[in-house]
């Protein structure tokens, strides 16, 4: 079998590596997640009144893009319209259920794109295919698909070049003819270099879809290695995950990912060459909450130390014990080491350990040097003719813990 070569747009997408997902809509005012209308059976006539109090008073797209930059994220995917049917963009007469007809009175997607471009962040547009507001979704599906296609056409023609379109909702009608070919043809005509994603949902992680799809999705689950041998086209992979237990903001949700968990999940994605799209839910007025802001910035400090290999490294086939793995970049091998102890005096250090031998098989090149990327400390190693490489993985220095420590091998 032959291995397909990635198209330039897919190769660029893989090098983005880490992105911010933003869920924001009318549901943010209720603070009970993005599915609140459906789960609590709120009548649409009542739910739609939330439009009258949607102000976006504190939405600062430039500040959000700056945070993404500080966090090491290279793209942001914004919910331009979620399942509730409310659009953050100017729908130009298609519907009055949009931000232009709310107290916000602004095209928030235009502001989002402007903010992204200021900080060299690639804008992506999430767009629902499921719609709880439009009667035609239930009663005249072909008319609804016309509405959906026109909506996407607006996004593809009024905001300049975008990184991609990220769809979600086809799983709601698995037996329907969604006329995907027509929708994707519209994108290819108007945004030929855009990445096309259509989320296959919690119960079909990594599933392949229409031939125009550029990346499979792993919703809330770590990605598996892609088996691309014999594929007619190279397909990327992306894991999307929430910071807490909701995609939209949850006012009474106190269960958030730590910086440690974010670093671990990012590395698990890059181990198999997948991107990591991490979600935050904005407040009703359009801000990223304080905890998420602090956690993302902290992870950004870790990424800064390892930026080149995180963005540009490729999976390198080695065998190791536990979770340790390797990436390759320009002939250099980078070993990602988990679960190191901490150095320091035994009276103040938990799991104190000065050295932790780690072994890898499958490193073909003759190793000349092995050192930590964070402080350039040289590490002793041995290597035999069968490709077995062992090194003494020095513990985290007292007062430091890198969660996953990276050693550069040349």
Measured between alpha carbons, how far is 362 from 320 in angstroms, rounded to an integer? 9
DSSP annotation of 389: E
Measured between alpha carbons, how far is 382 from 359 in angstroms, rounded to an integer? 9
In the chain, the domains with their CATH numbers are: 8-312 (3.20.20.80), 316-409 (2.60.40)
CA 3 to chain centre: 25
Does residue 352 register a pLDDT over 60?
no
Buried b / exposed e across 329-346, counting CB within 10 Å, b at 16+?
beebbbbbbbebbbbbee
Does residue 383 register a pLDDT over 60?
yes
End-to-end CA distance of the chain: 32
Does residue 123 register a pLDDT over 80?
yes
Q: Are strands 325-329 and 314-315 parallel, antiparallel or unpaired?
A: antiparallel
* CA torsion through residues 213, 215, 219, 223, sign: positive
Does residue 90 register a pLDDT over 90?
yes
HSE, side-chain direction, 13 A CA sphere, residue 127: 25
Measured between alpha carbons, how far is 133 from 131 in angstroms, rounded to an integer? 6
Choice between 355 and 375, residue whose per-residue pLDDT is larger: 375
CA 374 to chain centre: 25
pLDDT band at 209 (very low <50, low <70, confident <90, very high): confident
Q: How high does pLDDT run on average in the chain?
A: 95
pLDDT digits (tens, 9 = 90+) for 9-64: 999 999 999 999 999 999 999 999 999 999 999 999 999 999 999 999 999 999 99
Measured between alpha carbons, how far is 96 from 371 in angstroms, rounded to an integer? 59
Measured between alpha carbons, how far is 185 from 97 in angstroms, rounded to an integer? 26
Measured between alpha carbons, how far is 223 from 272 in angstroms, rounded to an integer? 7
pLDDT digits (tens, 9 = 90+) for 268-301: 999 999 999 999 999 999 999 999 999 999 999 9
pLDDT band at 1 (very low <50, low <70, confident <90, very high): low
Measured between alpha carbons, how far is 75 from 118 in angstroms, rounded to an integer? 13
Instruction: Output phi, psi for 343, to 5 deg.
Output: -80, 165
What percent of the chain is helix, strand and coil (3-state, nearest 5)? Answer: 30, 25, 45
Measured between alpha carbons, how far is 192 from 13 in angstroms, rounded to an integer? 14
Q: Are strands 164-168 and 236-242 parallel, antiparallel or unpaired?
A: unpaired
pLDDT band at 145 (very low <50, low <70, confident <90, very high): very high
Query: pTM of the prediction?
Result: 0.96
Measured between alpha carbons, how far is 383 from 106 in angstroms, rounded to an integer? 62
Q: What is the pLDDT of residue 49?
A: 98
């Amino acid at each position: 079998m032959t291995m397909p070569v990635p198209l330039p747009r897919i190769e660029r997408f893989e090098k983005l590596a880490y992105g911010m997902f933003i869920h924001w809509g009318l549901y943010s005012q209720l603070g009970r997640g993005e599915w609140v209308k459906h789960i609590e059976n709120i009548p649409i006539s009542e739910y739609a009144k939330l439009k009258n109090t949607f102000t976006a008073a504190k939405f600062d797209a430039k500040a959000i893009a700056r945070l993404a930059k500080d966090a090491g994220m290279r793209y942001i995917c914004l919910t331009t319209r979620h399942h509730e049917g409310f659009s953050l963009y100017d729908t130009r007469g298609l519907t009055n259920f949009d931000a232009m007809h709310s107290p916000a009175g602004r095209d928030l997607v235009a502001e989002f794109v402007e903010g992204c471009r200021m900080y060299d962040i690639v804008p992506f547009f999430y767009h629902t295919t499921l719609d709880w507001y439009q009667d035609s979704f239930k009663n005249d599906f072909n008319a609804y698909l016309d509405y959906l296609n026109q909506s996407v056409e607006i996004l593809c023609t009024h905001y300049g070049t975008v990184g991609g379109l990220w769809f979600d909702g086809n799983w709601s009608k698995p037996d329907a003819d969604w006329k995907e070919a027509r929708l994707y043809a519209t994108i290819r005509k108007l945004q030929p270099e855009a990445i096309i994603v259509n989320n296959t949902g919690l119960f079909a992680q990594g599933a392949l879809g229409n031939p125009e799809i550029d990346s499979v999705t792993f919703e809330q689950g770590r990605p598996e290695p892609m088996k691309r041998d014999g594929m007619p086209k190279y397909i990327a992979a992306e894991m999307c995950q929430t910071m807490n237990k909701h995609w939209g903001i949850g006012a009474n949700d106190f269960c958030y990912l730590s910086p440690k968990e974010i670093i671990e999940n990012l590395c698990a994605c890059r181990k198999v060459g997948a991107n990591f799209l991490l979600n935050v839910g904005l407040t009703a007025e359009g801000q990223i909450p304080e905890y998420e802001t602090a956690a993302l910035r902290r992870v950004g400090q870790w990424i800064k130390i390892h930026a080149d290999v995180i963005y540009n490294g490729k999976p390198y086939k080695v065998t190791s014990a536990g979770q340790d793995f390797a990436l390759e970049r320009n002939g250099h091998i980078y070993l990602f080491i988990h679960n190191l102890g901490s150095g320091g005096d035994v009276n103040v250090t938990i799991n104190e350990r000065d050295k932790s031998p780690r072994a890898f098989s499958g490193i073909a090149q003759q190793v000349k040097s092995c050192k930590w990327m964070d402080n350039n400390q040289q590490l002793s190693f041995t290597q035999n003719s069968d490709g077995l490489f062992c090194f003494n993985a020095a513990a985290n220095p007292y007062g430091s813990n890198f969660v996953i420590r990276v050693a550069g091998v040349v």
